[in-house]
Amino acid sequence: MTQYDTMVCKEQFEVIDDGLLVRAPAKLNLSLLIAGKRPDGFHEIDTIMAKVNFYDEIFIEKGRKTGIELICKGPEWTPQGQDNLVHKAAQLLLESSGRAYSAEAAAKAGKADIKITLQKNIPAGSGLGSASSDAAAALIGLNKYLDLKLPNHQLSELAARLGSDVAFFLDGPLAKCRGKGEKIEKISKKFDFLALLVLPNVSVSTKRVYENYQHNPDLYNDLNVRINSYLQKNRIDLVLKLCANMLQNSCFILYNELAELKGRIESLGVTPCSLSGSGSALFCIMGVAFENKAKQNKLKIEEKIGCRTIIVRNNEW
């Protein structure tokens, strides 16, 4: 990390002594459309997501306690123990592979115990997918560490049971996701970018934002046609110019301070400023050649507004 708080691209895996470090990247929604409400009560989404080089980290090693031991640390809040999605992912993976890790089952079977340490760097409730990414990292990491050799389609099935965005983080780095987020169409074209990522001290409830959402079918149809046309031409840059996030109004009604923050950022000439997911993170994407401009805008936001801002790049994996 430089003096400008620019995130450094890192590898997905790193072997440290007898353990395995797995990095869990954040994501940005380059577009987010809502097609309507499904019969199961969930909303049908159509979104383009890109991983960025802002990471949580999980470290997997042999444990000293029976079963799965999860330790959470770092600057950001995350649920502890069995309430954490990392623990749920680990339990689900091991049960599905015939290696149940409940304390009682592990003790009876004499199986090796697992210790997972989660370093939480990405804020919860920010629309950056951190918990989903952590869960995917746990699935991928344990599959590799324990040499389970579970195929990708099986990991995807487990991911869908854990949460809507988890499957996206199994692959990538750029994809169109539909359904509840579990239907993944990988975008093979490489799209390099810099993004100025603004991290307000606000935790947004995704559930409340969806409950507050008022559907606009005409807007969805218009944006859907335009975005699909741009994708057919491999013009992701044109998708970005739409700043299409159909959850934005719902989020801003509930969290007016975010609407005000967006306005203040744009009044400084930092445009276009978009909301990622259901919020609270805001971002401004620019070409990789504009790093100096990104650094200037970062300092401007921090000096004039006082909000934490980092510069990220598209992730390579």
| The predicted structure's pLDDT at residue 3 | 43
Distance separating alpha carbons of residues 243 and 20, to the nearest angstrom: 38
Q: What is the pLDDT of residue 100?
A: 55
Catalytic residue among 46, 134, 165, 262: 165
Q: What is the pLDDT, as a whole number, of residue 245? A: 98
User: Would residue 2 count as lying in a domain?
Assistant: no
Q: Is residue 4 part of a domain?
A: no
How does pLDDT run along the chain (317 residues), one tens digit per residue? 444 466 889 999 999 999 999 999 999 999 999 999 999 989 999 999 999 999 999 999 999 888 899 999 999 999 999 999 999 999 999 999 886 544 455 455 545 589 999 999 999 999 999 999 999 999 999 999 999 999 999 999 999 999 999 999 999 899 999 999 999 999 999 999 999 999 999 999 999 999 999 999 999 999 999 999 999 999 999 999 999 999 999 999 999 999 999 999 999 999 999 999 999 999 999 999 999 999 999 999 999 999 999 999 999 99
Strand ranges for the chain from DSSP E: 13-16, 19-37, 43-62, 68-73, 114-119, 174-179, 183-186, 194-199, 274-275, 282-286, 308-313
Is the peptide bond preceding residue 280 cis, with omega within 30 degrees of 0? yes
For residue 116, the model assigns a pLDDT of 98
CATH number at residue 234: 3.30.230.10
Which candidate in 27, 51, 88, 298 is catalytic?
27
Indicate the pTM of the whole model.
0.94
In this structure, is residue 1 part of a structural domain?
no
Spatial separation of the C-alpha atoms in residues 211 and 207, rounded to whole Å:
6
- The pLDDT of residue 287 is 92
Please list, residue by residue across 239-263, b when 16 or more beta carbons sit within 10 angstroms of its beta carbon and e when fewer do: bbebebbbbbbbbbebbeebbebbe
Domain assignment present for residue 8? The answer is no
Query: For this structure, is 27 an active site residue?
Result: yes
pLDDT at residue number 111: 56
CB 197 within 8 A of CB 310: yes
So what's the pLDDT on residue 196? 97
CA-to-CA dists, residue 57 to 48, 103, 267, angstroms: 24, 25, 35
Residue 3 located in a structural domain = no
Does residue 5 fall inside a structural domain? no
**Which three-class secondary structure state does DSSP give residue 259?**
helix
**Which structural domain, as residue segments, surrounds residue 194?**
13-313
What pLDDT shows up at residue 112?
55
Phi and psi for 91 in degrees, rounded to 5? -60, -45
Burial class (CB in 10 A: 0-12, 13-18, 19+), 283: buried
Q: At what angle do helices 85-96 and 152-162 cross, to 10 degrees?
A: 140
pLDDT at residue 113 in the model: 87
Number of domains the chain contains:
1
Residues 6 or more apart whose Cβ sits within 8 Å of residue 260: none
The whole-number pLDDT of residue 172 equals 84
Say if 118 falls within a structural domain: yes
CA dist 130 and 124 (Å) reads 7
Q: Does 6 map to a domain?
A: no
